[in-house]
Amino acid sequence: MKIVVIGGTGLIGSKVVNILPQNGHQAIAAAPGTGVDTISGKGLPEALEGAEVVVDVSNSPSFETDAAMAFFKTAGENISAAEAKAGVKHHVALSVVGAQKLQDSGYSRAKLAQESMIKASPIPYTLVRATQFFEFIRGIAQSSTEGDTVRLSDAPFQPMAAEDVAAAVARAALGAPVNGTLEVAGPEILRIDEAVAKVLDADRDPRKVVTDPEARYFGVRLDNLSLLPDGNARQGAITLGWWMANVPPPRQK
Ligand SMILES: NC(=O)c1ccc[n+]([C@@H]2O[C@H](COP(=O)([O-])OP(=O)(O)OC[C@H]3O[C@@H](n4cnc5c(N)ncnc54)[C@H](OP(=O)(O)O)[C@@H]3O)[C@@H](O)[C@H]2O)c1
């Protein structure tokens, strides 16, 4: 079966593209770098020709509210129209656990808009909602940094490894469309402030984490449920401790 992975050169997409052929399928990475642009539409009809499944794990190059909303809306319209023409039978997309609870964040509003478009499209679909990737913990630190201080809430979250996210997305792509949402999460519930402090410590990053329950997370005041999945989430196996010991930090560009 031909499976097109939009965003197939990204963190999750490149792992999905590696997993799928292990099952005898053909996986095509579709991204600007491989000649497919979901915003201009360039290369999209050609890439989707003969595809049974489309996996969308692309991301907006900017997380700014208007830019993210424009990205997910335009890409969603172009992908849905190209899928209808190509006769695609299953659309799989990756979204964020708790997006509906984080609507003070413009990025979360854009992800919810993406989800709504997928649900309204005639193409059968599976939405996979994941919690924060371990790889994103450094991004959380960055967004909450002032000088040498990282001010963070002590709210619980259940982050997971990109490897486990990719496995969940690949599993969804090979299954039948559920026309609904599956949630995936990490194996442990952690506190955001403590998890960020651990990663900064391992990175020998001199910034100090300060706990402040009022600190905003991308503009959102968190409560004890904001970032947690519902009770039915499938759990990944990789712990934060294993990930920190085994996955080297990305090289500085
Ligand atoms: N970060 C988290 O903790 C988290 C949690 C849950 C869900 N998610 C979701 O996971 C998804 C994937 O995230 P990621 O971290 O893997 O993203 P990423 O590493 O930033 O990769 C983004 C991918 O999108 C591609 N892309 C950008 N503009 C495109 C366009 N116009 N047309 C086609 N492809 C385009 C990029 O291609 P180029 O490299 O060529 O630009 C790249 O392959 C996102 O939708 C995000 O909302 C993230």
24-34 residue pLDDT tens: 899 999 999 99
Mean predicted confidence (pLDDT) in 192-213? 97
DSSP codes of every residue in 49-110: TT-SEEEE----S--SHHHHHHHHHHHHHHHHHHHHHHT--EEEEEEETTGGG-TTSHHHHH
Starting at the edge strand found earlier in the chain, the sheet holding 234-235 runs 26-30, 2-6, 53-56, 90-96, 125-130, 180-185, 234-235
Set out the domains of the chain in order of their start, with CATH numbers: 2-246 (3.40.50.720)
Distances, alpha carbon 190 to alpha carbons 137, 209, 228, in Å: 12, 15, 10
State which of 48, 59, 92 you would mutate to test the pocket of ligand 1, scoring each by most atoms of that ligand within 8 A of its C-beta.
59
Q: Give the C-alpha separation, 141 to 138, whole Å.
A: 5
Tell me, in angstroms, the distance from the centre of ligand 1 to residue 178's CA: 23
Which amino acids bring their CB within 6 angstroms of ligand 1?
6-7, 9-13, 31-33, 36-39, 57-59, 61, 94, 96, 111, 130, 132-133, 136
Residue 238 identity (one-letter amino acid): I
Instruction: State yes or no: pLDDT of 231 exceeds 90.
Output: no
Ligand 1 geometric centre to CA of 56 (Å)? 9
**Ligand 1 centroid – CA 58 distance (Å):** 4
What single DSSP character describes residue 160? Answer: B
- Opening angle at CA 186, ends 7 and 242, nearest 5: 95
Query: For residue range 37-77, what is the model confidence (pLDDT) as tens digits?
Result: 999 999 999 999 999 999 999 999 999 999 999 999 999 99
Ligand 1 atom having least distance to the Cα of 159: 3
Q: CA–CA separation, 73 vs 67, rounded Å? A: 10
Residue 124 has pLDDT above 90, yes or no: yes
High-pLDDT (> 70) share of the chain, %:
99
Assign 252 a pLDDT band (cuts: 50, 70, 90).
low
Phi and psi at 209, nearest 5°, equal -90, 130
Is residue 97 very low, low, confident or very high in pLDDT (cuts 50, 70, 90)?
A: very high
Candidate from 54, 58, 105 with most ligand 1 atoms within 8 A of CB, to mutate: 58
Band (pLDDT 50/70/90 cuts) for residue 161 is very high
User: Is residue 253 scored above 80 in pLDDT?
Assistant: no
Distance 212 CA to ligand 1 centre (A): 30
CA angle in degrees (0–180, nearest 5) for 192-197-201 = 155
Of 158, 109, 123, give the one whose Cα is nearest residue 137.
158
Alpha carbon distance 164, 237 (integer Å): 7
Structural element, H or E, at residue 127 = strand 125-130
Per-residue pLDDT, averaged over 135-152, amounts to 97
Among the atoms of ligand 1, which is closest to the Cα of residue 37? Answer: 32
**Average pLDDT of the chain, as a whole number:** 97
| Averaged pLDDT, 152-171 | 98
Q: Where are the beta strands (DSSP E) in 131-243?
A: 145-146, 149-152, 156-157, 180-185, 190-191, 208-211, 216-217, 220-221, 234-235
